[in-house]
Amino acid sequence: MPFQVNRNLTKLRSVNAAFSTAAASPTCTGGLGGLTLNLAGTLNLATQTGTTGQGTITLSGPVPGGTATFNGPFSATVNLDETVTISFTATVTGAITGTATATGSGVITDGVVTADITSGLLTRATAPLGSCPFTGTLTAAGQPVMFFSLLHFAQGGGFDGLTTPTPVYPLPITQFSLGLAAIFDTPQATSSVTFTGPAGSLVTNVPAHQRRTVTAGSFYETDTMSVTGRNLIGNWSVRYRGVDRPFTVTDPQTATRSSRCCPR
C-alpha cells in the first residue's frame, strides 16, 4: 500500500511547454492555426490540500508578431499510482491577446513532471478574432525533498496521535525502525541508504533493507531494533546519494511529538 505524503508539489518551480495548434480550418481561425509555441516560465504554488495544489503558472515565448505571455491559475494532483493530472486557465497577453485553457496528465520521473496536454484551447480576444485547439507537452521541474521518520513500536505495535485508545504517556517504546521518504527522485539501492544516530543510539551506518513505493518517490526503512540501552534523542543523519543529511529528533516518548507508522 503506498505511503501518502502530502507535500508532493511544493518543490515544483520551473516549467517549459511545447504546444502546437491545429492547422487552419473553419474551427481554427484568427490566424492561430498551425502555430508552434515553445514557452518557458515558472510555477508558484499557493496552497495545497492533500496531494492537490493550486497556484499560478506563467509561460512566455515567441509567436508571430512578437512574444506572448500566458499567466493564470493552475491545479495539479499527484495520484496514488504516481500519475499527475494538471490543468490551467491563462490570460494571454502580448502579440496574442485572449485566453488559453488546458488539461493533461503525466508522470513524475527524476524530479520532473511531464504531462501530455490532450485538451487545450487558445482563443483570441482581439482582431483577428478566433479560437484554435492545441496539444503538446508541459514539463515542471522540482528538487528532491526528504522526510525522516523514527517509527515507534510499543509492545510490538505501532502508534501515533490517532491511535485508539489514546496512548498514555510516557509510552514504553519497545522497538523502533528508521525511515526516509525521498520525493521527486529516482529509486536508490537500499544498501546505499544508511542511517547514523546520536551518541548512545548504537546506530552507525545501518543500511535500509525495506523499500516501498510512495507517491512520487520511495520510502526506505531499516530493520526493527530494540530500544533497550539506546538513546533516541538528538541529531540523526541519513547518507543518501553520498551526502549526509541531518535530522533532529526530540523525545519520542512525549505526547507532543507526532510519530507515524507505515504498513509493514
Using pLDDT thresholds of 50, 70 and 90, give the confidence band for residue 8.
low
Would the pLDDT of 165 be above 70?
Answer: no
Largest CA distance in the chain: 79
Count of beta carbons in the 10 Å neighbourhood of residue 91: 14
Q: Among 114-118, 137-141, 248-252, 256-260, whose mean pLDDT is lowest?
A: 256-260
Would the pLDDT of 23 be above 50?
Answer: yes
Per-residue model confidence as pLDDT tens digits over 182-231: 876 777 888 899 999 999 999 999 999 888 776 557 889 999 999 889 99
Question: CATH 2.60.40 spans which residues of the chain?
Answer: 145-249
Question: CATH 2.40.160 spans which residues of the chain?
Answer: 14-141
Q: Among 98-102, 170-174, 198-202, whose mean pLDDT is lowest?
A: 170-174
Per-residue model confidence as pLDDT tens digits over 244-255: 999 888 876 654
Query: Rounded to two decimals, what is the model's pTM?
Result: 0.56
CATH 3.40.720 fits 145-249, yes or no: no
Mean pLDDT (the chain) is: 82
pLDDT of residue 169: 62
Higher pLDDT, 179 or 80: 179
Separation between Cα atoms, residue 19 and residue 8, nearest integer Å: 26
CATH code for the structural domain at 14-141: 2.40.160
Higher pLDDT, 179 or 156: 179
Using pLDDT thresholds of 50, 70 and 90, give the confidence band for residue 257.
very low
Per-residue model confidence as pLDDT tens digits over 147-157: 888 887 765 56
The answer to whether the beta carbons of residues 99 and 71 sit under 8 Å apart is no
pLDDT of residue 15: 87
Give the DSSP letter string of the chain: --B--S-TTTT--EEEEEEEEPPSBTTB-TT-TT-EEEEEEEEEEEEEETTEEEEEEEEEEEETTEEEEEEEEEEEEE-TTSEEEEEEEEEEEESS-EEEEEEEEEEEETTEEEEEEEEEEEEE-SSSPEEEEEEEEEEEE---EEEEEEEEEETTEE--TT-SSPPPSSP---EEEEEEEEESS----GGG-EEE-STTS--SSEEP-EEEEETTEEEEEPPPEE-TT----EEEEEEETTEEEEEEE--TTSTTS-------
